[in-house]
Structure 1
Amino acid sequence: MQQDGLILELQNGNQKAFERIYELYSESVFGIIYSIVNDQKIAEEILQDVFMKIWENASSYNSSKGRFFTWILNIARNASIDQLRSKGHKNRQKNLKAENFVDILESSSNFSSKTDAIGIQKYIDILKPVCKKLIDLLFFKGYTQKETAEELKMPLGTVKTRNRACINQLRGILVEK
């Protein structure tokens, strides 16, 4: 079955289509979620939530607004960031033992493994260092634009402008390929 037909079947409530979509996308979606939350158990829980949202909100997907995989990744990214910002997650982070911080510091600085999880590392490598940093903070670490401005010690307006320019540059690279 073609992807468009599969999506249409999903939107019509076909459970087999949903199962097929899970088979096709769950591994990639898990990689994105894990790269954001850095916890296997939490990533597995979020993955299940993401696919429940896909099932429940399939009718809201509109192919004229973007690719299906992008729609799924946005759901996964938002769910992961929501988890990071939740009180429960923040309380768990406060209770971590000292040895856990080594892993957190090493994994949070490993931007290339995160971009590799979705197969865009080779395209990100082409970008300027400031674009790499902006994309890492805004899209992979879940920073707000204000938090990114504070982290990079630059005005909020500059972050917004550079972010737009970097995304446009990345989009141009991807379109060429």
Structure 2
Amino acid sequence: MWNYQKCNNNTFIQRLKRKKEDALEYVIEQYLSLVKGVVLKTLPYQKNYGLVEECINDVFLAVWNNADQFVGNEGDFQRWIAVIAKYKATDQLRRLIRNREDCADPLPTQLQESISTLEEEEEFLNYVSILKETDRNIFIMKYLLGFKNNEIAERLNLTTQAVENRLYRGKGKIGKNFLKEFNTI
């Protein structure tokens, strides 16, 4: 357990921006399970846990190096670090795919499925980009990070009904936009 004499829930963001090591230790202690979950969900093929650990370390290094760019509160920080984890894991998976394509060996089925998933996620992010930030965050938490509606509501300080309504309306907006794009082809 780390010694957080100066760092706590209210001060860790500012201390992290000032490059205080106790803040990084606090972030690792508080968010390791979230980061690990996102990375393992994105890199399901990994038999080599060393690559997963490397990716997790890259996430915390990116948080440390880019803390001064973060703007928001603790809830925003949680979403920010989850997105960083998702992108770092995606980058790691792409590197694996590139290295694998350089070899004559065919890609394993699970890795091929991961490639398809990445392409679908990129398309998904393109579709939700038309939504307002809160709605976009709800869609990302629900469909990319696998949160339940009540978990999303708790983390965003909304009611579960509000989350469900925003998902319903967001699906409608995305559907209308898709049809508009389809009709212009």
TM-score past 0.5 threshold: yes
Q: 2: distance between equivalents of 1:94 and 1:16?
A: 42
Amino acid at match of 1:143: E
Q: 2: distance between equivalents of 1:77 and 1:4?
A: 25
2:92 maps to what in 1?
83
1:143 maps to what in 2?
121
8 A contact 1:10–1:18 mirrored in 2: yes
Amino acid at match of 2:67: A
1:176 maps to what in 2?
159
1:30 maps to what in 2?
36
Which structure is richer in relative contact order (CA contacts within 8 A, separation 6 or more)?
Answer: 1
**Higher alpha-carbon Rg:** 2
1:92 maps to what in 2?
100
Say whether residues 1:19 and 2:25 are aligned partners. Answer: yes
**What are structure 2's unaligned runs of at least 5 residues?**
1-6, 140-148, 161-185
Amino acid at match of 2:65: E
Q: 2: distance between equivalents of 1:164 and 1:67?
A: 17
2:8 maps to what in 1?
2
Q: 1: distance between equivalents of 2:128 and 2:105?
A: 39
Using a 3 Å threshold, how does the CA distance of structure 1 residues 161 and 169 change in structure 2: closer, same or farther?
closer
**What are structure 1's unaligned runs of at least 5 residues?**
109-135, 149-158
8 A contact 2:8–2:26 mirrored in 1: no
8 A contact 2:28–2:60 mirrored in 1: yes
Offset of 1:74 from its aligned partner? 1.1
Offset of 1:84 from its aligned partner? 2.1
Using a 3 Å threshold, how does the CA distance of structure 1 residues 142 and 30 change in structure 2: closer, same or farther?
farther
Q: 2: distance between equivalents of 1:163 and 1:10?
A: 32
Q: How does 1:162-173 map to 2 (within 5 A)?
A: 164=131, 168=135, 171=138, 173=149
More helix by share: 1
Aligned with 2:127 (options 147, 160, 165)? 160
1:125 maps to what in 2?
none
Amino acid at match of 1:83: Q
Say whether residues 1:72 and 2:81 are aligned partners. Answer: yes
Using a 3 Å threshold, how does the CA distance of structure 1 residues 19 and 93 change in structure 2: closer, same or farther?
farther
4+ runs of 1 displaced by more than 6 Å? none
